[in-house]
Structure 1
């Protein structure tokens, strides 16, 4: 009898141990499954339906430097009492890998075959190329409003929506909400021309769509929406940039395509409004030596003070766009003339603000010091120049006709 009781007690203990062991495994499996589920739901889907897609948040994304002027004081951008207007529209969205940061206002010759070149993670392609991906089908909304399609570099998505929303958000992606009225309207017309022309060619052009758009911007866009820039009756290839070195560049000098309306014009007021004027960047001689070797295949030796010599500038202007520069005694590399764009884009990966610069070597610090004038490629509308002209009484049409030679706006 006593032996039987002991046996029952042992059996109960064994059963209890087994139960505790199994219960522990169930808890571990339950926790692991929950963690896995949390990971799965945190990964966004590659595509989102039009019914559930919300306007992308863009406040934490850095915009491309050459298209976004940097004002000295941006407090008004976040403290202004005016509020952003909310718009709704039917959208078509497709995901793709975001484009690299670079000058992305690109001229697309109608008669020239354009190829896309792969780029490094921070540097643009050696030659500026056009966005060649076909635009998504434009789906009209119920209101019948004109639809435009762009590739939004902020979110890395194609975006199709009403022209009013696209232009207003793209304008603030280029200039601040606080720019003068006529400068805003000039940018709106230029932006519409740029996007509309590309859409007609089957291309969704790259732009940056902001969400913090003030009511004022929408009202100004409404005043000019649908107006475009024409040369001899045809909509132009429109381009714009932050600021010049005192005069604009030409499309022929930058992209090798001569358009009569994209030639160099004076804009002396840029240096009075642009905080980028006279910016400096310095690089050690070792950095320069390796960068030149890796990109141009030129071995730099001897005295660093003799490595570079600026030979010419566009129209021989002071602080002008560098059109020829000797590097280690060489004026060509890879079969091409070495110019300011070569140094800025290829050798230094767009870290310089423009291809209009002065250059000197400081022996004491063993560094090369670049002083740049303006910001961007320099072709077309200067945004800080437009700001200065608007503050001096120019209308948006006068501003556009100053920067785009011989054009009409309607």
Structure 2
């Protein structure tokens, strides 16, 4: 039986089979209490390639950060990543995706995970023990990604549903990210074949220079829709069809070649990891980083409920 069950309401509660946990709003600058570590007390069932493994939340988060961020990143960026990952994990651990586990180690499904004993990642988790992001009392969907160009995307522009805390916001220069820019070249024949495999009604009988019509863009700088061969295609669909790094796409055409230039990597919704790095290098705290990328959220600390001894009152 899974050890984590999440009930999200006006004031959310996390209940485990042997622990009673409460959500307590407090200043994140307060020193850790004498209560037991929240992350060490919460146990997860984690689906791995070789089966399901039981581990505490702390060990899982250390592995997530190890997979998601380089150890060379500033400590405030690593702390921001730890809080985003903790929030994402607890929201995911509700049984909807994995009938026999709370979360998995597949980055395309939940979050990446690499076994690690690095002190750098351990310190980031310890320093933020139990801290999560909430909006109107509920855990947020704390999505994050590698890097973007100038602005993040709003959730509505990528997934179609408006999320008040996942709006398009500015992001600092991230051009130093290793996967920030990519150029993908296709012959006109290859481009046509790929597009027609998904849109057989597309008309690419003219010269390549005439294939592209009006292109509209999102606030985050990605393609919203593009008319290609008389067909209206979304930026997210173009990214999927051509296996591109992002929807921030610039087309360049010649008589026999189509070049696609992309900027940023990932869905670009939520916190940019290289943006967090840049903000941390500019001496912004993890709180400032998180409150910048997630609009209108609050930082809460989850604690293990203290149980008084018999015939005594709780201090």
Q: Tell me the TM-score normalised to structure 1 length.
A: 0.59
DSSP 3-state at the match of 1:270 = coil
DSSP 3-state at the match of 1:191 = helix
The answer for the alignment partner of 2:266 in structure 1 is: 376
- In structure 1, what is the Cα distance between the partners aligned to 2:111 and 2:213? 36
1:399 CA drift (Å)? 0.4
Q: Tell me the TM-score normalised to structure 2 length.
A: 0.76
Structure 2 unaligned residues grouped into runs of 5+: 9-15, 20-36, 104-109, 301-315
- In structure 2, what is the Cα distance between the partners aligned to 1:321 and 1:165? 36
The answer for the alignment partner of 2:149 in structure 1 is: 245
The answer for the alignment partner of 1:325 in structure 2 is: 226
1:173 CA drift (Å)? 1.1
- In structure 2, what is the Cα distance between the partners aligned to 1:139 and 1:362? 65
The answer for the alignment partner of 1:74 in structure 2 is: none
> Pairwise mapping of residues 11-410 of structure 1 onto structure 2 (< 5 A)?
145-152=41-48, 155=49, 157-200=51-94, 202-203=96-97, 204-205=102-103, 206-271=110-175, 273-297=176-200, 298-315=202-219, 320-331=221-232, 338-345=233-240, 347-348=241-242, 350=243, 352-363=244-255, 366-410=256-300
Spell out structure 1 runs of 4+ moving beyond 3 A. 137-140, 149-152, 156-160, 200-205
The root-mean-square deviation of aligned C-alpha atoms, in Å, is: 2.4
Q: Could you report, residue by residue, the CA deviation over 1:350-405 in whole angstroms, capped at 9, with x for unpaired residues?
A: 2x110111011133xx2211111110001001000001001000111110000000
Whether the 8 Å contact between 1:193 and 1:229 is mirrored in structure 2 is yes
- In structure 2, what is the Cα distance between the partners aligned to 1:382 and 1:221? 19
Structure 1 unaligned residues grouped into runs of 5+: 1-90, 93-109, 111-136, 332-337
DSSP 3-state at the match of 2:131 = coil
- In structure 1, what is the Cα distance between the partners aligned to 2:117 and 2:44? 18
Whether the 8 Å contact between 2:45 and 2:53 is mirrored in structure 1 is yes
- In structure 2, what is the Cα distance between the partners aligned to 1:181 and 1:159? 29
Whether the 8 Å contact between 1:230 and 1:407 is mirrored in structure 2 is yes
Residues 342 and 228 (structure 1), Cα distance of their counterparts in 2 relative to 1, 3 Å cut: same
The answer for the alignment partner of 1:45 in structure 2 is: none
The structure carrying a bigger helix percent of its residues is 1
Whether the 8 Å contact between 2:188 and 2:208 is mirrored in structure 1 is yes
Q: Could you report, residue by residue, the CA deviation over 1:136-192 in whole angstroms, capped at 9, with x for unpaired residues?
A: x9899xx9721134444xx36444310110001011111112211011010000000
DSSP 3-state at the match of 2:41 = coil
Whether the 8 Å contact between 1:138 and 1:149 is mirrored in structure 2 is no
The answer for the alignment partner of 1:34 in structure 2 is: none
Q: Could you report, residue by residue, the CA deviation over 1:321-346 in whole angstroms, capped at 9, with x for unpaired residues?
A: 10010110221xxxxxx12111111x
- In structure 1, what is the Cα distance between the partners aligned to 2:239 and 2:57? 35
Q: Could you report, residue by residue, the CA deviation over 1:293-349 in whole angstroms, capped at 9, with x for unpaired residues?
A: 11122242120122223511113x7xx110010110221xxxxxx12111111x21x
The structure carrying a bigger strand percent of its residues is 2
Whether the 8 Å contact between 1:270 and 1:385 is mirrored in structure 2 is yes
